[in-house]
Amino acid sequence: MKILFCFTLFLTTAFGQKDLLAQKTNLQIADSLTLSVLADYLQDIRKNDLDSILIDVSHLETVKQDYLRILLGNWFHANSFQVFRNYHQGLSFQGMVFEINAYQLDVFYSKPYEKKFFGSDFINRRILLNLNGQFYITGSQKVQIAVVREINYSDEIPYAEISAMELSGYPFARGRREDYSFWDKMYEPVLAVTSVAILVFLFFSQRT
């Protein structure tokens, strides 16, 4: 019996850990969504036969500037572009400018729910990305490619792992929990207490 219990515990731990490692953090999903937008425009960017690009994020909050300079800079570099991450550097070179006017990431969590009776709680996670910008060539200021995108992503994660999903140095990657009614908040505790009370009543009823 002890061997069976230990084996069951091992399977639960091993495969449970595997599922946990498979979960992407909010920031990792933001990375993927943002880069998927750029990938859609890569062919159009290359049509200009320019191998230098300036990332202009000067319109955004400082924390988003830092995030996007690193993320986009690495992506463009991996795609064989010479990358300029400082706006003022763009005054002395001829190339493509990617100017981002708005970058908004919103993360929403549903109320917790159980898949099995008295099982672990799960939540639905929804991530909404809005990106607004344009590509133009220095000197002309003529917009070559306008970027206006809104992307929705959703999945299911364990309620207990919210903190792990929010691990990053960027506050904009934290989520907000959807509001729900007083009855929704009290439903599970009331159900649990009622179930225990019924079991206790039945137990003592059988003894008498």
Alpha-carbon span 150 to 33, nearest angstrom:
10
First CA to last CA across the chain, in angstroms? Answer: 33
Contact 100, 131 (CB under 8 A): yes
Alpha-carbon span 45 to 98, nearest angstrom:
10
How is the chain split into domains, by residue range?
24-177, 182-208
Provide the CB-side half-sphere exposure for 193 (13 A, CA).
Answer: 5
> Pairing mode, if any, of strands 121-137 and 175-177?
unpaired
Beta strands in the chain (DSSP E): 52-56, 82-84, 96-109, 113-114, 121-137, 143-158, 175-177
pLDDT at residue number 18: 35
* The one-letter amino acid at 19: D
Report CA 131 to chain centroid distance, whole Å.
14
Alpha-carbon span 55 to 84, nearest angstrom:
6
pLDDT at residue number 117: 65
pTM (whole model) above 0.75? no
Bridge partners, residue 127, by sequence: 107, 153
pLDDT at residue number 191: 61
Alpha-carbon span 73 to 53, nearest angstrom:
9
pLDDT at residue number 118: 64
Q: Which of 16, 5, 44 is nearest to 137 (CA)?
A: 44
Tens-level pLDDT at each residue, the chain (208 residues) = 444 333 333 333 333 333 444 589 999 999 999 999 999 999 888 888 888 899 999 999 999 999 999 999 999 999 999 998 765 554 566 788 999 999 999 999 999 988 776 667 899 999 999 999 999 988 776 778 999 999 999 999 999 999 999 988 899 999 988 655 445 555 556 666 776 777 776 766 766 6
Q: Which fold has domain 24-177?
A: Double Stranded RNA Binding Domain (3.30.160)
**Which tokens go with 190?**
């009331």
